[in-house]
């Protein structure tokens, strides 16, 4: 197996943003990993993709442990000085190769609307694109009825109650994946799926993958919407 270079690319571009009315933190790294092609090949050669045990709408597979270490090593400065979370206080990490494969008609409600990963300000979500898909990617949203752009413990009940009132039954669910503004959500900012681009944002931010209407839900890691999705929890 080809070894993977986990160093930051010499021509990487790292930009930090505070977006929306509530100034949510977003880090964007283009040309993140020197060994991105080799990392993708691990997924292509792997044979243990399986249906997710979370609400991720597709299949997943573990990544090498060295990849998780590389995120911390390469982006630790920004974790501490932009997100103001201490690397030494990392409590847990989950990281998986991920491919969206669930067709729109099979989605649960929470897969059809923007979501938050956890109602704690001490969590960071990371999406690393290993395939380019023009007009697809990831977007952050604002919930129009509440104005929330993030959901933490203090907002959780108000947000959930508002969602349940708007979508009381399956017949009220929106159609398919969200991909732009709706009657309930306004898009704050979106980022295209570009090979070797990494996004990092707080797990409380309302966000969703952008899945195009013409997407084929290809399960092949060589040609499908392959990403590495990670979540870091801090004490």
Give dist(CA 203, CA 123) in Å, integer: 5
Give dist(CA 20, CA 188) in Å, integer: 6
Give dist(CA 56, CA 28) in Å, integer: 22
Q: Give the residue among 85, 143, 154, 144 at the shortest CA–CA distance from 119.
A: 154
pLDDT at residue 213 in the model: 86
**Burial class of residue 95 in the structure, from the number of CB atoms within 10 Å of its CB (0-12 exposed, 13-18 middle, 19+ buried):** buried
Q: Which residues pair with 137 in a beta bridge?
A: 192, 210
Per-position pLDDT tens, the chain of length 235: 457 989 999 999 999 999 999 999 999 999 999 999 999 999 999 878 998 777 899 999 999 999 999 999 999 999 999 999 999 999 999 999 999 999 999 999 999 999 999 999 999 999 999 999 988 999 999 999 999 999 999 999 999 999 999 999 988 999 999 999 999 999 999 999 999 999 999 999 999 999 988 899 999 999 999 999 999 999 9
Backbone angles phi, psi at 146, to 5 degrees: -105, -20
Give dist(CA 106, CA 145) in Å, integer: 26
pLDDT at residue 47 in the model: 74
Sign of CA dihedral 65, 73, 100, 142: positive
pLDDT at residue 2 in the model: 58
Q: What is the pTM of this model?
A: 0.95
pLDDT at residue 52 in the model: 73
- The DSSP symbol for 171 reads G
Q: Give the residue among 234, 228, 176 at the shortest CA–CA distance from 202.
A: 234
Backbone angles phi, psi at 215, to 5 degrees: -65, 140
Q: Do you know the residue count of the chain?
A: 235
pLDDT at residue 113 in the model: 97
Give dist(CA 15, CA 26) in Å, integer: 8
The tokens of 138 are what?
A: 């990831």
Sheet holding 226-234, edge to edge: 13-19, 24-30, 198-202, 123-129, 226-234, 90-100, 58-62, 50-51
Contact, 67 vs 6, CB < 8 A?
Answer: yes
């Amino acid at each position: 197996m080809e070894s993977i270079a986990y160093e930051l690319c010499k021509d990487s571009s790292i930009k930090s943003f505070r977006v929306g009315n509530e100034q949510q933190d977003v880090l964007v790294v283009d040309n993140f990993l020197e060994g991105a092609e080799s990392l993708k090949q691990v997924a292509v050669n792997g044979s243990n993709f399986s249906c997710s045990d979370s609400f991720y709408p597709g299949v997943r597979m573990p990544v090498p442990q060295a990849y998780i270490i590389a995120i911390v090593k390469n982006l630790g400065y920004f974790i501490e000085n932009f997100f103001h979370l201490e690397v030494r206080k990392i409590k847990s990490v989950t990281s998986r190769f991920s491919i969206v494969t669930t067709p729109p008609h099979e989605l649960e409600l929470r897969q059809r609307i923007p979501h938050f990963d956890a109602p704690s300000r001490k969590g960071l979500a990371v999406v690393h694109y290993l395939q380019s898909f023009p007009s697809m990617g990831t977007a952050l949203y604002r919930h129009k009825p509440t104005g929330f752009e993030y959901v933490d413990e203090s907002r959780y009940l108000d947000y959930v109650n508002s969602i349940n009132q708007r979508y009381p039954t399956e017949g009220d669910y929106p159609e398919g994946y969200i991909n732009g503004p709706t009657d309930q959500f306004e898009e704050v900012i979106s980022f295209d799926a570009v090979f070797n681009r990494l996004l990092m944002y707080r797990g409380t931010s309302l966000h969703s993958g952008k899945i195009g209407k013409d997407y084929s839900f290809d399960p092949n890691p060589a040609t499908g919407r392959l990403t590495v999705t990670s979540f870091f929890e801090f004490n």
